[in-house]
Each structure stands twice: as C-alpha cells, then as structure tokens.
C-alpha cells in the first residue's frame, strides 16, 4: 500500500471514529427535549455526555487537518463546492460548545431555554448536514479541470442528499438513545423513556437507511467498486439494524450499543469503500474525477505526516480511552433540583 492510499484509509478511519463517538452525543442532545420533563432530568441528560463531547469533536478536526495536509485538491474542491454547508456545520458546533459551557452560568429559566435551543440546533444541523456531505461524496460534485467546482450555490441539495441527511440524523438519534441505556440508572424513569425512544427511532432509521441504500444503488456507483463483495458492508449494516431491534427487545443494553456502533461503522465504511480509488467523483465526466493518486500531496509531506501521526494518534486514543474509563459510572437523577449524582458517589453540577 502506498502512502497516498494509506492516508485515504486514515481519513476514512477519522470519519468513522468521529461519527461513532459524536453520533451518540448528537443523539442525546436531540432527544433531550423529548425525554426530559423537568430541569433535573435535563441536567442528568447533559451529564451523560458532558465529559465526552469536546473530546469527540477532536476527530473531525483531525479529519479536516489530514485532508488539508495530504489531499489539498480534495480539500479545496470539497470545501469550495460545499462552503455554505461546512460553514453551517462549523457555526453549529461552535454554538453547541458555547451552550454547554454557558447554560449553567446563570440561574434563569429563560437563559437555560435559550442555550437549550442553541444546543439542540447545534446538534440538529450537523447531524443532518453530515449526511448531505456523505451523499454528495458518493454521488460526486460538478468538478471541472484542476479540481475547480463549477456548480451553483445549492447544486448539491436534492432528494438524494436530503435522504442522506435524514439517514444520519435518525441513525444518530437511535445511537444516542441506546447510549443513554448504558449511562442512565435503571431505576430512573428517564431510562425507560430512552428505551422506548430507541425502539421508535430504530424503526424510523431502518426505513430511511434502507431507502438511502436503494437510491445509492440506482443513482450512484456506490456499490459498484466493491468487486465480489459489493453487498458485504451494506448487508452487515442492515443485519446490525435487525440486531439492534432484537437486543432492545431482549433488554440487552451492551449488545444493543455494540450493534448500533457497528451500524455506524459499516455505513461509513460503505461510503469510503464505494468512493475508492476516487476521493471525489466529478458529475461532469470521469476524466475530472479526483482520485487518491492525482490529488495527494508530495511524498515528503506524506512521509512527514506519518511521523506526526505516529506521535499524536496514540496520545489522542489513550486520552480518550482514559476519559471514558474515568466517567464510566451510570448517571442518576436525584430528588434535589439543580443537581445530579453519578452512581458511585461522585456529585457534580451540569
């Protein structure tokens, strides 16, 4: 495997880990208005993701940095073509981060409602738009000679992109509901509500993901680059969706989360397998496709990035593993308004 191909799969791995981790904290934030019935339940839900959400976002920064350094033509064409989409994603993530930090600073219902709405939109917009980006990655953009984007402002918004956005949105809500089953205490009413929502959003996500897979098969080359195993990963993703329903019905929370995680992994892997050896197909003609080889940086840059990755990737992975281990206890909603307790005796404020 040459270095350009290696960096393509490292980029894919960054997106897979990002969607796997940020997917559930997007989902928890989107479910918060539907699950919480009072302030202490809202704080308990926030506390399930508050130790993790900022660390999860590191992976999207890493993915963007890797594309910028190793595939500058891909970075330029994709970000130029979908500039409004990435601007909205960035502003939403910034607003969401500020909302988490500012919400508890003033003891006022109006203040908290404002930041709750900001946080909800900060999860809704990127959860939907990441699906739009993935749909356009596999379908391609109107890229001309030299990787120049030749389309209009909203060329990339059509039914296929909207279905892609709905698929990621619903999949993240399902992933978030199942994550709550691992984080909330069994005796709390929130836990029972999260289980009901997992079944509901699981059914909706299954229908929309299967529709997106069908449209991807008839409208793009998504499944034609796999060779003899063209249905392997889409089939595994579908089997995992069925496995989620079975695990939820049998009240097996850990298997439900494992299958939910594998569904996110296989779905994202399907996109990058279908994309390879391209990094961004052109809808104007195959001769304008940006490929792994024609859009990669110089060998010196690729070698330098390998050294950087060998130093920093183990640090990032180690820190995050330690963080998840430290905050592994279940969250319990107590009887005192404005506070929550973590099972095991640790008290905290949201």
By C-alpha distance, which of 337, 284, 342, 297 is closest to 37? Answer: 337
Residue with tokens 């033509």: 73
Q: Cis ω on the peptide bond leading into residue 277 (within 30° of 0)?
A: yes
CA 299 → CA 7, 48, 185, 235, 304, distances in Å? 11, 43, 52, 37, 9
State residue 340's pLDDT score.
Answer: 42
Confidence grade of residue 350 (pLDDT, cut at 50, 70, 90): very low
Considering only CA atoms, which of 272, 33, 24, 280 is closest in space to residue 168? 24
Q: Please report the pLDDT score of residue 332 as a whole number.
A: 84
Highest mean pLDDT among 74-78, 164-168, 265-269: 164-168
Residue 108, Ramachandran bin (φ over 0: left; ψ between -120 and 50: alpha; else beta):
beta
Q: What is the pLDDT of residue 167?
A: 93
In this structure, the strands spanning 346-348 and 340-342 are: antiparallel
Residue 129 clears pLDDT 90, i.e. is over it:
yes
**Of 341, 347, 20, 27, the residue nearest 180 (C-alpha):** 27
Q: How far apart are CA 137 and CA 290, in angstroms?
A: 11
Q: What is the dihedral of CA 27, 30, 33, 35, to 10 degrees?
A: -20
Coil, helix or strand for 188?
coil
Q: Residue 21: what pLDDT?
A: 93
Q: What is the band of 227 on the pLDDT scale with cuts at 50, 70, 90?
A: low
- Spatial separation of the C-alpha atoms in residues 126 and 113, rounded to whole Å: 20
Domain membership flag for residue 344:
no
Spatial separation of the C-alpha atoms in residues 63 and 16, rounded to whole Å? 10
Q: Is residue 340 part of a domain?
A: no
Q: What is the pLDDT of residues 246-289, one digit of tens each?
A: 888 888 889 999 989 988 998 898 888 888 888 988 888 888 98
- Give the confidence band of 86 by pLDDT, cuts at 50, 70, 90: very high
Q: What percent of the chain has pLDDT over 70?
A: 92
Burial class (CB in 10 A: 0-12, 13-18, 19+), 248: buried
In a domain, 105, yes or no: yes
Q: Would you say residue 134 lies in a domain?
A: yes
Q: How far, in Å, CA of 297 to CA of 293, rounded?
A: 9
Question: 19-23, 60-64, 149-153: lowest mean pLDDT where?
Answer: 149-153
Which residues, at least 6 apart from 90, have a Cβ–Cβ distance to it below 8 Å? Answer: none
pLDDT band at 349 (very low <50, low <70, confident <90, very high): very low
Query: How many Å apart are CA 136 and CA 280, to the nearest integer?
Result: 9
User: Could you report the per-residue pLDDT of 302-339, keeping only the tens digit for each?
Assistant: 999 999 889 988 999 999 999 999 988 888 887 444 44
Residue span of the structural domain in which 28 resides: 3-327
Of all residues in the chain, the percent with pLDDT exceeding 90 is: 39
Residue 337 φ/ψ, nearest 5 degrees:
-65, 135
The answer, yes or no, to whether residue 119 has pLDDT greater than 60, is yes
* 238 compared with 340, residue with greater pLDDT: 238
Asked if residue 71 belongs to a domain, the reply is yes
pTM for the model stands at 0.89
Token reading at 170:
């619903």
Do the domain assignments include residue 349?
A: no
Asked whether the beta carbons of 265 and 13 are under 8 A apart, the reply is no
The rounded distance, in Å, linking the Cα atoms of 240 and 128 is 22
Q: pLDDT band at residue 226, thresholds of 50, 70 and 90?
A: low
**Non-local CB neighbours of 200 within 8 Å, separated by 6+ positions:** none
Q: At what angle do helices 3-35 and 39-49 cross, to 10 degrees?
A: 170
Arithmetic mean of pLDDT, 85-108: 90
Total structural domains within the chain: 1
Q: Rounded mean pLDDT of 104-133?
A: 92
The span from the CA of 141 to the CA of 152, in Å, is 10
Q: What is the pLDDT of residue 229?
A: 61
């Amino acid at each position: 495997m040459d270095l350009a191909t290696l960096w393509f799969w490292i980029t894919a791995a960054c997106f897979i880990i990002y969607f796997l981790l940020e997917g559930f904290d997007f989902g928890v934030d989107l479910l918060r208005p539907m699950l919480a019935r009072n302030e202490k339940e809202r704080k308990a839900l926030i506390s399930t993701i508050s130790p993790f959400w900022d660390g999860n976002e590191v992976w999207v920064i890493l993915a963007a940095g890797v594309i910028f350094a190793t595939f500058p033509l891909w970075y330029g064409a994709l970000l130029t073509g979908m500039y409004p989409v990435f601007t909205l994603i960035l502003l939403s993530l910034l607003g969401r981060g500020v909302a988490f930090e500012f919400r508890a600073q003033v003891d006022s219902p109006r203040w908290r409602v404002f930041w709750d709405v900001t946080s909800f939109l900060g999860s809704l917009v990127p959860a939907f738009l990441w699906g739009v980006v993935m749909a356009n990655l596999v379908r391609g953009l109107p890229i001309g000679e030299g990787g120049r984007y030749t389309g209009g402002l909203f060329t990339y918004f059509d039914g296929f992109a909207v279905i892609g956005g709905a698929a990621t949105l619903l999949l993240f809500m399902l992933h978030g509901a199942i994550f709550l089953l691992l984080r909330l205490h069994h005796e709390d009413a929130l836990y029972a509500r999260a289980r009901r929502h997992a079944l509901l959003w699981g059914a909706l996500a299954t229908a929309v993901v299967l529709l997106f897979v069908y449209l991807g098969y008839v409208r793009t080359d998504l499944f034609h680059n796999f060779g003899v195993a063209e249905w392997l990963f889409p089939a595994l993703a579908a089997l995992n969706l069925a496995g989620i329903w079975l695990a939820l019905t049998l009240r097996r929370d850990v298997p439900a989360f494992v299958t939910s995680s594998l569904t996110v992994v296989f779905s994202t892997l399907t996109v990058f397998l279908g994309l390879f050896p391209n990094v961004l197909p052109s809808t104007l003609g195959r001769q304008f496709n940006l490929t792994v080889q024609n859009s990669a940086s110089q060998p010196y840059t690729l070698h330098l990035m390998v050294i950087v990755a060998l130093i920093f990737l183990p640090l990032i992975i180690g820190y995050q593993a330690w963080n998840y281990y430290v905050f592994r206890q279940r969250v319990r909603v107590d009887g005192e308004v404005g506070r929550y307790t973590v099972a095991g005796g640790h008290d905290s404020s949201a």
